[in-house]
Each structure stands twice: as C-alpha cells, then as structure tokens.
Amino acid sequence: MSIKSFLIGSPIETIREQHERLNKMAGLAVFSSDALSSVAYGPEEILLALMLGGTALLHFSVPIAIGIVALIAIVATSYFQTIHAYPSGGGAYIVAKENLGTYPGLVAGSALLIDYVLTVAVSISSGIAALTSAFPATRAHTVTMCLIAIVLIMLINLRGVRESGTIFSIPVYIFIGGILLLIAASSVKYLSLPRPYFEHMHEAGAGIFPLFIILRAFASGCATLTGIEAVSNGVRAFRAPEARNAGITLTWMAVILGVMTIGIAFFADHFHILPNSSETVLSQLTRTVFSKGAIYYTIQFSTTLILILAANTSFADFPRLSSIMSLDRFLPRQLSNRGDKLVFSNGILILGFLSIFLIVVFRGDTHALIPLYAVGVFTAFTLSQAGMVRHWLAKKERGWLKGIVINGIGTVTTAVVLLIIAVEKFTHGAWIVLIAIPGLVYLTTRIHAHYLSVADQLTVCLDKAGTFKHHAVIIPISGIQMAVLNAIKYGKALSDDVAAVYVCLDPVETEKVKAKWDRHCMGVPLVILESPYRSIIEPLLDYLEEVRGEYPDGVITVVLPEFVPSRWWHHLLHNQTALLIKGILLFKKGVVSTSVPYHLVK
C-alpha cells in the first residue's frame, strides 16, 4: 500500500468528484493532445506516399492537406452537434447504439477501442522518433524508451484526471506555441524569398497511377483526424456546463489543428523537404528555419513530449468508453469500477499492456503502425454521423434540419474516406483492423450473452428455493496439530456429521496419525484414503463424490485448516495445497469450502 500511495497518491473521496473535473484549458491538453500531435507525422505520411510517384507529385501535398483540413472542419462540426445532443458522453458508441441499433453501436465502440490502442502505440513511437532525430545515438534504444514512456503515462493517469491535466498542460501549450512560431518564422522567410507555389504542378502526369498515389497519400494523411472524437467521448470530464465547455474545446482544437496542418505541409513543400529514415519532416523544417539552436531543440523536445503525451487522449477515453460498454454488459464489469483516484484504473492498465504489446511486436516503428491507424476511427465517424441523422429525423428538435444537413454531409464524407483508407491501406496492414473489429464485436456479444444468462439464473425464484436435507462436513488434514484441532471445533459447530480425511502417501506416517487420532480429536471419525499415485487431490475428490452420491439433496462443507505465518515471505516456505483445493472445489456443485486460519506469532 505504501508503494501504491507513492506511485499514484492518496485516495480521493467520491464526494470530491466534481472538483476533479477539467476546465477548458486543461481539457484541451487532455483530450486534444492526440489530434494536435498528429501534425508531427500526418504531413510526413502524405509526403512518404507521394514519393512513390516521384518528385513531381510532391507538390500535391498542400492540396491534400487542404482537403484534410476541410474534412477536419466537417467532422468537428458534426461532433459539435453530437456533444450537445448527447452531453452524457459516450460519443460514437452511444449515438450509433441508440439510433442505429446494438450491432452498429458495438462496431463503433469496438473500432474506437482498437483505435485507442493504436493511438498510444503510434503516438509513443512518433515521440521517440522525434527524440532520436535530434539525438541519433539513442536510436538503438527506441523500444526501451517507448515502453518507459507508456509506463510513465499510465502512472500519471492512475493519479487522477485533474492531476494528469495539470501535468500535461505545460508541454501541450509549449508545443502549440512552438509550431505556431515555426509557421510564423517560415512565413517571414517565405515572403522574403517569393516563389510561385504552383509552378511545378504541370510536371505530374495525368492518369490512373498518379491518382492512385494521391489517394494513398490522402488516406495516409487522414491519420491527422484521429483524436477529434475524444472530446465527445469525455464530455462528463468537463466542469459544468459540460456540453458548452466541451464544444468550445472541440472548436479550439479543430482551428489549431487546421492551421498547423496546412502550415507544415505548405512550408515542407516550399523548402523541398523530403522524408528520410534518420530525421522527421518536422525536424528538418525546424532546422531549416531556425538552424540547430535553442528554438530547434525546444520544438523537438516539446514535439517529443506532446507525441508521448498524446497517448493520454487514449488513456482518458479508452477507460471511459470501456466503462460505458461495461455498464451495458458488453465488456467485463470490472471496467466500470473506479479506482482510488476516481479514474477507471482497470481500463488504464489494460490499455497500457495492449499498447506495450504492439510496440514490442512492431519494434516501435511508426511507419509500420500507421497503416493500421485511422480505419477504426473513420468507422466510428461514419456510424456516429449516420446515427445523428437518424436522431434528428426521429426527434425533430429545434434546428433539426440544419443538424441533418451537417451530419448528412459528415456521414457521406467520412464513409468515402473510410472506403479510400480501407482500399489503399488494406495490403499494408489495414486488413488486421478490418478483422479485429468484427472479432471484438463477436467477443462483446458473447460477454453480453453470458451476463444475460447469469442474470436469468440468479433471478430469485421461490419454486427453486428450498432447504438442504443433509449437511456433511469434511476436514482434509495432513497431520495432527493446532490448526487441525481448530478446524474440528469449527466443523462440529456446523453439523453433527463431521469426518476428517487423511490421504495416505506414507504408510508409516499414516500409522502415527491413526495412533494419535482418538486421543486428540474429540470423537470425529478419521477416514484414510489410499493414493497409489501419490496424489492428494484426486482421492479427496473421489471421496466427495461418494458422499454426494449418498446424499444427493444435501450439501458438503469442506473445512480447510490453515496456519497463517507472521511474515509474508514465510508463505514461500510452505506448500499451498489448501489454496489449490479451494480453487478446484469452486467448480464442484453442491460443495462449499471454507478456511479456518490459525495465526502464528513468529
């Protein structure tokens, strides 16, 4: 407990939950770091895809970036509608489930959960890539640094929402300021050396192949939109009025993201910057504008931090979404439990472990992870917007016609983009996500069926109620000592039918036990079980079956004598047979196990 308190701090009372919520400034840091940080790799992914068609196609990077920013505006406007229509949070999952049905809701929820895991892996690996660009000697330790970063963010999130928001705000705003400064300085340099931007556009040949490359570049750049839905999933994390504060935060995020995306794409093209394996595009642009000085290292360091902290968006939303799905009985109910710091600790831990697995499998390579990215989030985008169209048609609330137009455009646009991404990225790894989503949907339906079955079987039914016609108490022993005598006293208090059971592994020891038994054990009969193969468990289970056969309408209580050492490490010096027996008996119908502890003092 002292280690736990040191790592995550003291517990917070439930009554203080309102004080743990976020204002707009902290909310932007917590929920927008994923989307804002994508400018560090989104424009680079566009250029990487365009390079397949030769340098002539590189000038399409800015038109593609403009198209992506237009898509950001459409999606952000659509989610603004969602926030005010569903201020309880839940985003795409709730909207799709309530308006389109259970299965569309599960598809949206599953797609987002998978995307959040990928977000952590991509953000962390991109952040470490920014660090290794500035310090190439560290490249050999990429995976190790990625794992350390995930563990640190996981611990920070376990400390609570408000505390994590405070910690993350500073690097997020340093990054925003640094990128805007970079764009401003690039503008000054650009204006001092004017150059017609579209002068080389005619070099790109027409035809199917360039169009295919451009569509692939657009699909790669759409990774920039991941994280836009985060605010709508976490509305309840904001201070009152929750919907208004969340909507304002979403607007801030969309405007800042659009400016930074176009700015980096435009100036990367203007200064003829090309992607390479040893240095990121953002690092090259910053070095070109500022040289390797204090500003360069500040921007690189803040980029590393925000890319690493961008994973916090997932750590904020994955546990919240999984808790909502858990309350609907589609995920294990443990995911809906709040920890000591009023956060969904189980969800945070699961997300951390899954992300670590991805980092290890893909060796922290951002470009290997990117193709898996964005499929899930655009699936959720499309279902969410379609659900909102259905919502406006059904409710016909104030402004419903405007809502249908906004969300209708959002549905069509994101569906087209989803199709482009799925086709263009299929052979590069998107097929994994396209298989994982229905796989997770199937798992959630099986979990739901289990919970419904449990609820049905546990429903109180007077016809099933009754009394046991016999109660047998069985005490497995390994010898005669004080723990056994305590268990016998307890057993006799439970029933008149008490028997002790001893498994014979050594005939000499068995005779010693029999010789002492009648003298110490209060008239309780001793049953000797033979075990030719030296097993303790099997003879005991066979004996229990015999008793069950004799009293089919009865119940058996197995009383286990246990001594409890005074030091935790003393447990390592003794076998754990009682623990094994309890675990096995848990699955035996009509058998109850209980322990009678005898506490040692030294």
Best CA proximity match to 114, nearest among 275, 350, 299: 350
Q: State the pTM of this model.
A: 0.72
pLDDT tens, position by position, 287-327: 888 888 888 888 888 887 887 777 777 887 888 889 889 99
Average pLDDT over all residues of the chain: 83
Taking residues 352-368, report their average pLDDT.
84
Cα torsion through 468, 469, 470, 471, rounded to 10: 20
Cα torsion through 366, 372, 374, 375, rounded to 10: 180
The pLDDT of residue 592 is 93
| Total residues belonging to the chain | 602
Best CA proximity match to 476, nearest among 380, 582, 391: 582
Q: Helices (DSSP H) in 161-273: which residue ranges?
A: 161-192, 208-221, 230-233, 242-270
Q: Provide the CB-side half-sphere exposure for 497 (13 A, CA).
A: 13
The pLDDT of residue 238 is 84
User: Tokens in use for 496?
Assistant: 């008149």
The 10 Å Cβ neighbour count of residue 94 is 25
- In which region does residue 160 sit, left (phi positive, over 0), alpha (psi from -120 to 50) or beta (all else)? left
Buried b (16+ CB within 10 A) or exposed e, 191-221: eeeeeeeeeeeeebeeeeebeebbbbbbbbb
The pLDDT of residue 475 is 94
The CATH 1.20.1740.10 domain(s) of the chain lie at: 2-451
CATH code given to domain 2-451: 1.20.1740.10
Q: Is-contact 160 341, C-beta < 8 A?
A: yes
Q: Provide the CB-side half-sphere exposure for 501 (13 A, CA).
A: 24
Q: How far apart are CA 202 and CA 349, in angstroms?
A: 52
Taking residues 567-596, report their average pLDDT.
85
Q: Helix, strand, or coil here: 58?
A: helix
Q: Which residues are CB-contacts of 105 (< 8 A; sequence separation ≥ 6)?
A: 93, 94, 96, 97, 98, 383
What one-letter code names the amino acid at 108?
A: A
Q: Which residue has the tokens 């015999």?
A: 546
Q: Is-contact 560 595, C-beta < 8 A?
A: yes
Q: Which residues are CB-contacts of 3 (< 8 A; sequence separation ≥ 6)?
A: none
Q: How far apart are CA 266 and CA 522, in angstroms?
A: 91
Over pLDDT 90: what percentage of the chain? 21
Q: Is the peptide bond before 241 cis (omega within 30 degrees of 0)?
A: yes
Phi first, then psi, for residue 505 (nearest 5°) are -110, -25
Residue 368 has pLDDT above 80, yes or no: no
Higher pLDDT: 9 or 129? It is 129
Q: Is-contact 429 368, C-beta < 8 A?
A: yes
The CATH 3.40.50.620 domain(s) of the chain lie at: 471-599
Best CA proximity match to 117, nearest among 345, 349, 428: 349
Taking residues 511-520, report their average pLDDT.
84
Q: How far apart are CA 70 and CA 76, in angstroms?
A: 10
User: Tokens in use for 193?
Assistant: 């050396």
Q: Tell me the C-alpha to C-alpha distance, in Å, between residue 450 and each of 337, 444, 457.
A: 19, 10, 11
Taking residues 511-518, report their average pLDDT.
86
Q: Is-contact 426 216, C-beta < 8 A?
A: no
Best CA proximity match to 332, nearest among 456, 455, 447: 447
Q: Is-contact 382 411, C-beta < 8 A?
A: yes
pLDDT tens, position by position, 73-92: 988 888 888 888 887 766 78
Higher pLDDT: 486 or 533? It is 486
User: Tokens in use for 571?
Assistant: 């447990």
Q: How far apart are CA 543 and CA 564, in angstroms?
A: 27
Cα torsion through 546, 549, 555, 557, rounded to 10: 0
Q: How far apart are CA 147 and CA 133, in angstroms?
A: 18
pLDDT tens, position by position, 214-257: 887 887 788 788 778 778 877 877 888 888 898 899 999 999 99
Instruction: Say how far residue 277 (Cα) sits from the centre of its chain.
Output: 29
Q: Is-contact 453 395, C-beta < 8 A?
A: no
pLDDT tens, position by position, 169-195: 888 888 899 999 999 998 888 887 655
What one-letter code names the amino acid at 281?
A: V
Q: How far apart are CA 314 and CA 121, in angstroms?
A: 10
User: Tokens in use for 274?
Assistant: 């090309």
User: Tokens in use for 46?
Assistant: 């566009």
Q: Helix, strand, or coil here: 521?
A: coil
Q: Which residue has the tokens 């002539």?
A: 56
The 10 Å Cβ neighbour count of residue 364 is 25
Residue 345 has pLDDT above 50, yes or no: yes
Question: In terms of CATH, what superfamily is 471-599?
Answer: HUPs (3.40.50.620)
Q: Is-contact 543 501, C-beta < 8 A?
A: yes
- In which region does residue 548 sit, left (phi positive, over 0), alpha (psi from -120 to 50) or beta (all else)? alpha
3-state secondary structure 434-491: HHHHHHHHHHHHHHHHHHHHHHHHHCCCCCCCCCCCCEEEEEEECCCCHHHHHHHHHH
Residue 462 has pLDDT above 70, yes or no: no
Q: How far apart are CA 250 and CA 71, in angstroms?
A: 14
